[in-house]
Amino acid sequence: MFRAVLTSRLQAAFTAAGIELPAGFTPNVVIASDTRYGDYQSNAAMVLAKQLKANPRALAQQIVDKLDVTDLCEKTSIDGPGFLNFTLSAAALAQRLAVIVSDDKVGVPAVAQPKTIVVDFSAPNIAKPMHVGHIRSTFIGDSLARVARFIGHKVITDNHVGDWGTQFGMIIHGWKTQLDQAKLKADPIHELVSVYKAVNAATKADESVLETCKAELVKLQQGDAENLGIWKECVRLTLEQLEKVYSTLDIKFDHYLGESFYNDALAPLVAEMLTQGIATISEGATVVFSDGSVKPENDPFLIKEKDEWKAAPCIIRKGDGGFLYATTDLATIDYRVKEWKADEIWYVVGAPQQLHFRQVFAAAQRRGVTTKMTHIAFGSILGPDGKMFKTRSGETVGLLEVIDEAIERARAAADEKEQGFTTEEKDEIARIIGSGAVKYAELSQNRLTDYKFSWDKMLSLQGNTAPYLLNAYVRTRSIFRKLDGAVTLTADLAITEPAERALAMKLAQFAENAHDILDDHRPNLLANYLYELADTYHSFYEACHVLRAEGTARNTRLTLCEATSRVLKTGLGLLGIQTTERM
C-alpha cells in the first residue's frame, strides 16, 4: 500500500520536475533493508541518472523538491550515491492500523484489473498410487487460488483428476479376478492401488495377462456396459474418499472435470488440428512438429542430440487410434477458454512435466489460444535421509498417509498436555495443527527446491512452523479473553515506542505482501512474512505492557494486538491454514 502510493507520488514528482520518464520506466520503491535511513527506499534517481547521463544526487534533489508526501512521511532524505529514503510518520502508521482493524480485507487493496484465473491443481490419478507430487500440488495450488481470490480475481479451481487411462485395463481385470470387497469398503483407494500393483506385477511375469488387460481396456473404450460400470464405481469410490481428505484439509474445488470429461472432444480436436495444418501424420501417429517459429533453444518440439537438433514431436494420437495425455490437455484448454473465458490458466504440477506443458502451450497457441498459461512447477519432497520419501512400512508416501499421521501425532501431543479440553476439542485442535503443520512445512519452502520432510521439525512449537504461528495467534486471543469482552477499541492511537512502531510497520506491509505472492507464484513469501510478523509481535509483547498500560497507550497496544490477530488469521487462511482460539 505505502509502496504503491510512494511509487505514484514519485512518478508525479518526476513529471512536476519536468523530467520525462523513458518508456516502461516505473520508479522502484522497496522496503528498506536497513531501517536506519528510513522505512522505504528508491533507487529511481540513480537508475534514471545513468540513462540520462546526469548526476544522481542532483537528480534526486530535483525530485525531492517536487515530492509531496507530507501526509505519509515525517522525513525524506537523499543518502549515499542518490538513494531516496522515506520515513513514515507515526500518524500515517496509526491510520493504517485503524484500517487493518476495521477492514474485512485487513487493508489489502483489490487488484486494478481482475482476471478470470483457472487454477488446475491436486489432480491425482484414480486407482494409481498418489505420489508426493500431489501433496505439493494440492497445498501450493490451494494457497495460490486463495490469494488470487482474496485480492479480487475471479478464480475457478478445477481438479483435473486422472480418471481415464491405460491403468483401467489392469484395474478391471483385477476387479473381476481378485478384488477383496471388504477391503474395498474399508479403504477403496488402498485396495484399488494394491489390485493395480498385483496385476501390474502379473503382467510382467505372464504375457497373456497383459493381453487380457489390453482387451479389457479396449472393451471399456468401446463402451462395454460391464466395464464402464466397474470404471464408474472406481471413480466414484475414489472421489468419495478423496473428498473426505479434502474436507479434512479444508480444500474445495469448484469443478472436478477429470480427463474422461473430454473423451468425446478428442477425435474432433485431432481432426481439426490436421485440417489446420498444425498436426501431421507421421509413422501412423498424429503429431505436432516444430513450426520453426522460435530459436531451437526455445523450441519445445526440438531436442539436442550430439550437437544436432532433432525433432521431438508431441504425439496427439497413437498409431492404434489411442489418444494421449497431451490431447486431453489441449481439449481441456479449449473448454476453459470457451466456457469459462479464462484469462489465465495456472497448472500446479511437478517439474518433470515441464516439457509436456511447453509443448501443449505451444500447440494451443498455434490454435489461436491467447489465454496466458503458466506451469507452476515444484521440486520433490525427500525423506529425512535425503532420499525418496517413504512411509514407515517402506511405501512411497501419499497425501492420505501424510495427513493421517500428522493429525495422529498432533493428537498425541495434545493428549500429553492436560488443559481441560474435551475429546472433540482435542480432535479439532489436532486436525488444525496436524494439517496446518504439513501445509506450512510445504508452503514455507521455495517451491522449486527439494525439501526434507521432518515430522519433528514441522510439529515443533519453536522455529518457522505452523504450531509457532498458531501459538502467536492464540496469544493475541488470550489477551482479549482475559478482558472478557470488556473493551472497545477507539481511534485514539499514538505510536510512540520503537517496538510499537516496528509492529505497526510489519502489519502495514501485509498489504504489499499479499500482492507480491502472485508475481512469481510463491506462497513462501507469505509464510516468511507471517513468521517475521509473529517474531515482531513477540518482541513487542516483551517490550510493552498491554493490560497494565493506560489511556491512549493501552488502546494503541490493544489495537496492535487485534491487528496482529487479524493479519495472522487472514494470512494463515491464505496458506489454507485454519486457526484455533486455544491450543
Instruction: Specify whether the CB–CB gap between 326 and 360 falls below 8 A.
Output: yes
| Residue 385 beta carbon to ligand ARG: minimum distance, rounded to whole angstroms | 25
The DSSP result for 413-468, as a single string, is HHHHS-----HHHHHHHHHHHHHHHHHHHHHTS-TTS-EE--HHHHH-SSSSSHHH
Q: What's the burial of 162, exposed, middle or buried (CB within 10 Å: 0-12/13-18/19+)?
A: middle
Q: Compute how many other C-beta atoms are within 10 angstroms of the C-beta atom of residue 355.
A: 13
Nearer to ligand ARG (CB atom), residue 134 or residue 146: 134
Instruction: Specify whether the CB–CB gap between 383 and 389 falls below 8 A.
Output: yes
| Residue 328 beta carbon to ligand ARG: minimum distance, rounded to whole angstroms | 8
Nearer to ligand ARG (CB atom), residue 123 or residue 508: 123
Nearer to ligand ARG (CB atom), residue 72 or residue 326: 326
Residues lying near ligand ARG in the complex (CB under 6 A) are found at 120, 123, 125, 160, 162, 329, 332, 347, 349
Nearer to ligand ARG (CB atom), residue 342 or residue 433: 342
| Residue 162 beta carbon to ligand ARG: minimum distance, rounded to whole angstroms | 4
Q: Compute how many other C-beta atoms are within 10 angstroms of the C-beta atom of residue 309.
A: 14
| Residue 139 beta carbon to ligand ARG: minimum distance, rounded to whole angstroms | 15
- Give the whole-angstrom CA distance, residue 43 versus residue 57: 11
- Give the whole-angstrom CA distance, residue 505 versus residue 484: 28
| Residue 134 beta carbon to ligand ARG: minimum distance, rounded to whole angstroms | 6
Nearer to ligand ARG (CB atom), residue 348 or residue 470: 348
Q: Compute how many other C-beta atoms are within 10 angstroms of the C-beta atom of residue 360.
A: 26
Nearer to ligand ARG (CB atom), residue 287 or residue 349: 349
| Residue 388 beta carbon to ligand ARG: minimum distance, rounded to whole angstroms | 17
Residue 424: C-alpha distances to residues 87, 235, 271, 407, 453 (Å)? 49, 32, 58, 14, 29
| Planar angle of CA 397, 403, 405, nearest 5 degrees | 80
Left if phi > 0, otherwise alpha if psi is -120 to 50, otherwise beta: which for 75? beta
Q: For the chain, how many residues are written? A: 583
| Residue 203 beta carbon to ligand ARG: minimum distance, rounded to whole angstroms | 21
Q: Compute how many other C-beta atoms are within 10 angstroms of the C-beta atom of residue 205.
A: 8
Q: Compute how many other C-beta atoms are within 10 angstroms of the C-beta atom of residue 502.
A: 17
- Give the whole-angstrom CA distance, residue 118 versus residue 202: 40
| Residue 339 beta carbon to ligand ARG: minimum distance, rounded to whole angstroms | 15
Nearer to ligand ARG (CB atom), residue 401 or residue 516: 401
Nearer to ligand ARG (CB atom), residue 28 or residue 353: 353
Nearer to ligand ARG (CB atom), residue 120 or residue 142: 120
| Residue 329 beta carbon to ligand ARG: minimum distance, rounded to whole angstroms | 5
| Residue 336 beta carbon to ligand ARG: minimum distance, rounded to whole angstroms | 10
Q: What's the burial of 193, exposed, middle or buried (CB within 10 Å: 0-12/13-18/19+)?
A: buried
Q: Single out the residue of 158, 172, 320 nearest to residue 233, CA to CA.
A: 172
- Give the whole-angstrom CA distance, residue 334 versus residue 328: 10
Nearer to ligand ARG (CB atom), residue 196 or residue 347: 347
